[in-house]
Amino acid sequence: MTITDGIANRRISPIDIPPAPVNYQALSRKIVDGLDLAALADRSDPAVRSDLLAVVSCCMETVVAAARTGTPVPERAAARLAGIAARWADRQLPIGVLQHAVHAGADAVVEPVVAAGRRTAAGLPAAGLVLIESLRTLSSAIARGYASEVRAMTGVQRVASHTLASALLAGRVDSMMVRRNGVELAAAYLVVAVALGPHADERDPLLDAGVVARRKLRRVQAELARDDGAPVLSMLSVDGGTLLIPVHAETEGDPAAVDGPLDDLIDRLGRAAAAPVTAAVVSAAPERIPRGAERAHELLDLALRLRRGPGVHRFRELACEYQLVQPGPANRHLRGLLEPLRDEPELLDTVEAYFAAQCKRESAARRLGISVGAVRRRLDRIAALTGLQPDAPVDQWYLRASFIARIVDPGSADPAL
């Protein structure tokens, strides 16, 4: 079979390239020595150098052979390059270096192929087509081998990560599972409850909101996979879920060393999702992750209900509010303070707007879309019904505590102590 041009459908005649005493091994070493290997962490690795020499030599030999015979690049040559690329993917080495080696090898034989092609009228176009077709086939072999291995690895890693995350969250991890998944449990984990807000396109009636949400989730998962630190275990849906982030022994107990990277990660997830990402975090040993996840999601729910906004919210920032919403006699009493307003929902709205506006009547009026005088009359009505003055510091504290206490479990309060 001769090489054919896919566009012009022209058959390519063999090119008469005189045999030359080319030492491909020596030339390959010279080419590899000139490659830019800055992307490789260990440039002196013998296995890496051996692979690059094989790629360069294979490219030179196959391009010259294809020109002399007019036949395509042999399958065995393409398979050899695909195998090398798969090995690089397995070692997480950059594919760009391999592609540079392919081009460098082809470039080294351009001159003799073109020189031979100039001897006949049809030779030069044939030489160009040989080079283009050979380079396309060889580059495609590298990309195909690398991509196939990455897909296989990603599938295995995703299943293993999902399995381990599920077991940790359920409190069912044993030593056999750890060995089977090829991971080492950390001494502690950041248990991060995550809420993924809607992408703007999810509200577009002309688009499929489900498709947009799934794409958002895939971008978030891809960003997690790109993280250079310890692998993040995740259980996520389009609305959010839970992340388990190993804590390094040297940073455990150092909030400054932990907070910055976590804030950065959530910021990056927000940019990847193109949507607001809100998170709450607690730290837990592996055996206490189930309770840690429960608490983290309680904190997340509290932060969302308090409208604290995107970003990371920590227990130390919500400790007071968290305590206020815990069930018990104190919670029931505090919720009961606003019970007289239950039949006048506009008064409850005024309480919320008043505290959201930092107790400034003008700002509360703008939030509610009413006049400052109307806000004043409503606050007077709240004082008359509850017996608490919104402008008095102590009464104001109780009103705020009652508002927070009702957030998680609003409704009829039990006044019994």
Structure tokens belonging to residue 342: 């239950």
How is residue 307 annotated by DSSP? T
**Alpha-carbon span 278 to 202, nearest angstrom:** 18
Residue of 79 and 193 predicted with greater confidence = 193
Q: What is the mean pLDDT of the chain?
A: 81
In this structure, the answer to whether residues 189 and 46 fall within a common structural domain is: no
Q: What is the pLDDT of residues 290-320, one digit of tens each?
A: 999 999 999 999 999 888 899 999 999 898 8
Q: Per the domain annotation, does 15 fall within a domain?
A: no
In this structure, the answer to whether residues 94 and 131 fall within a common structural domain is: yes
Query: Closest Cα to residue 396, out of 346, 349, 343, 354?
Result: 354
Q: Check residue 5 and give its pLDDT.
A: 39
Tell me the CATH number at 275: 3.30.70.270
Q: Per the domain annotation, does 260 fall within a domain?
A: yes
Q: What radius of gyration do the chain's Cα atoms show? A: 33
Q: Per the domain annotation, does 271 fall within a domain?
A: yes
In this structure, the answer to whether residues 318 and 191 fall within a common structural domain is: yes
The number of domains in the chain is 3
Q: Check residue 168 and give its pLDDT.
A: 87
Q: Which residues, listed in sequence order, are joined to residue 243 by a DSSP beta bridge?
A: 192, 234
Mean pLDDT of 221-247: 84
The set of residues, in sequence order, having a beta carbon less than 8 Å from that of 179 and lying 6+ positions away, is none
Collapsed DSSP state (helix, strand, coil) of residue 138: helix
* Chain centroid, CA 258 distance in Å: 18
Give the least confident one: 179-188, 211-220, 381-390.
179-188
In this structure, the answer to whether residues 219 and 300 fall within a common structural domain is: yes
In this structure, the answer to whether residues 287 and 350 fall within a common structural domain is: no
Q: What is the pLDDT of residues 87-120, one digit of tens each?
A: 888 777 888 888 898 888 888 877 766 666 555 6
In this structure, the answer to whether residues 248 and 317 fall within a common structural domain is: yes
Q: Per the domain annotation, does 412 fall within a domain?
A: no
In this structure, the answer to whether residues 149 and 216 fall within a common structural domain is: no
Q: Per the domain annotation, does 98 fall within a domain?
A: yes
Structure tokens belonging to residue 75: 């399958």
Q: Per the domain annotation, does 415 fall within a domain?
A: no
Percent helix, strand, coil in the chain, to 5, is: 60, 10, 30
- The total of other beta-carbon atoms located within 10 Å of residue 256's CB is 7
Tell me the CATH number at 353: 1.10.10.2840
Confidence class of residue 17 from pLDDT cuts 50, 70 and 90?
Answer: low
Domain that holds residue 374: 326-407
Q: Check residue 77 and give its pLDDT.
A: 84
- The total of other beta-carbon atoms located within 10 Å of residue 149's CB is 19
Give the least confident one: 76-85, 295-304, 357-366.
76-85
In this structure, the answer to whether residues 33 and 78 fall within a common structural domain is: yes
Q: What is the phi-psi region of residue 57: left when phi exceeds 0, alpha when psi lies from -120 to 50, beta otherwise?
A: alpha
- Which phi and psi angles does 399 have, rounded to 5°? -65, -40
Confidence class of residue 416 from pLDDT cuts 50, 70 and 90?
Answer: very low
**Percent of the chain residues past pLDDT 70, beyond the cut:** 78
Q: 368-380 burial by CB neighbour count: b if 16+ within 10 A, else e?
A: bebeeebbeebbe
**Alpha-carbon span 160 to 398, nearest angstrom:** 49
Instruction: State which of 303, 324, 345 marks the end of a domain.
Output: 324
Q: What is the pLDDT of residues 128-152, one digit of tens each?
A: 677 777 788 888 899 988 887 776 6
In this structure, the answer to whether residues 179 and 312 fall within a common structural domain is: yes
Mean pLDDT of 46-68: 84
In this structure, the answer to whether residues 268 and 130 fall within a common structural domain is: no
Q: Per the domain annotation, does 248 fall within a domain?
A: yes
Instruction: State which of 119, 153, 187 marks the end of a domain.
Output: 153
In this structure, the answer to whether residues 357 and 390 fall within a common structural domain is: yes
In this structure, the answer to whether residues 173 and 318 fall within a common structural domain is: yes
**Alpha-carbon span 220 to 233, nearest angstrom:** 13
Q: Per the domain annotation, does 277 fall within a domain?
A: yes
Instruction: State which of 302, 324, 346 marks the end of a domain.
Output: 324
**Alpha-carbon span 406 to 411, nearest angstrom:** 7
